[in-house]
């Protein structure tokens, strides 16, 4: 089925019509079967219309309130993220710029298996991921041990 916005020529009333195809609309109009529901005019033509696009099924509805418009909620969320990162880093070794090399060595069994964190370039992380070594960025920057902000 196809939906057309239609309008009558006499009074420009706009209404909707459903047809099997564009040809079906033309056929029915030619036989006088399409008329304006407001005034009954059979002089009907297609009106300018926007295409009907159905929303994708995997799209969530837009939030009614943006998080950024609620500073207290943003602050609480950031505190939760910081606490989660703190827990992730407990017992993790800081390896600094040696992160990519150390992650690869752990993956290959050349170094002790343990949780590590440090710094890596985009190219280094892409290379690790391509080799099947799982890495992920931390939400907040991490200072080297012994340094204060």
**In tens digits, what is the pLDDT along the chain, a chain of 149 residues?**
788 889 988 878 888 899 988 899 999 999 999 998 888 889 999 887 766 666 676 776 766 666 567 788 888 988 999 999 888 888 899 999 999 999 999 999 999 999 999 999 999 999 999 999 999 888 888 877 777 65
Residues 91 and 70 sit within 8 Å (Cβ to Cβ):
no
CB atoms within 10 A of CB 110: 10
Return the half-sphere exposure (C-beta side, CA atoms, 13 A cut-off) of residue 59. Answer: 5
User: What's the whole-model pTM score?
Assistant: 0.50
pLDDT of residue 95: 94
The tokens of 48 are what?
Answer: 């300018």
Packing angle of the helix pair 99-107, 122-130 (nearest 10 deg): 10
Give the distance, in angstroms, between the CA of residue 69 and the centroid of all CA atoms in the same chain: 20
The tokens of 63 are what?
Answer: 């939030």
End-to-end Cα spacing for the chain: 64
Instruction: Please identify which residue in the block is written with the tokens 């992380």.
Output: 125
Q: In what order do the strands lie in the sheet with 2-8?
A: 14-19, 2-8, 44-46
CB atoms within 10 A of CB 71: 9
Q: Calculate Rg over the CA atoms of the chain.
A: 32
Residues 30 and 44 sit within 8 Å (Cβ to Cβ):
no
pLDDT of residue 48: 78
* Helix (H) / strand (E) containing 16: strand 14-19
């Amino acid at each position: 089925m196809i939906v057309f916005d239609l309008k009558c020529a006499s009074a420009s009333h706009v209404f909707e019509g459903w047809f099997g195809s564009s040809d079906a609309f033309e056929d029915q109009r030619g036989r006088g079967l399409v008329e304006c529901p407001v005034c009954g005019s059979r002089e009907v033509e297609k009106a300018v219309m926007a295409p009907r696009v159905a929303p994708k099924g995997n799209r969530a509805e837009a939030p009614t309130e943006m998080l950024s418009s609620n500073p207290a909620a943003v602050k609480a969320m950031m505190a939760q993220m910081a606490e989660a990162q703190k827990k992730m880093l407990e017992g993790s070794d800081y390896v600094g710029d040696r992160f990519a090399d150390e992650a690869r060595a752990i993956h290959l069994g050349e170094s002790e298996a343990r949780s590590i964190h440090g710094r890596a370039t985009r190219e280094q992380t892409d290379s690790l991921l391509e080799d099947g070594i799982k890495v992920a960025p931390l939400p907040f920057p991490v200072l080297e041990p012994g340094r204060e902000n």
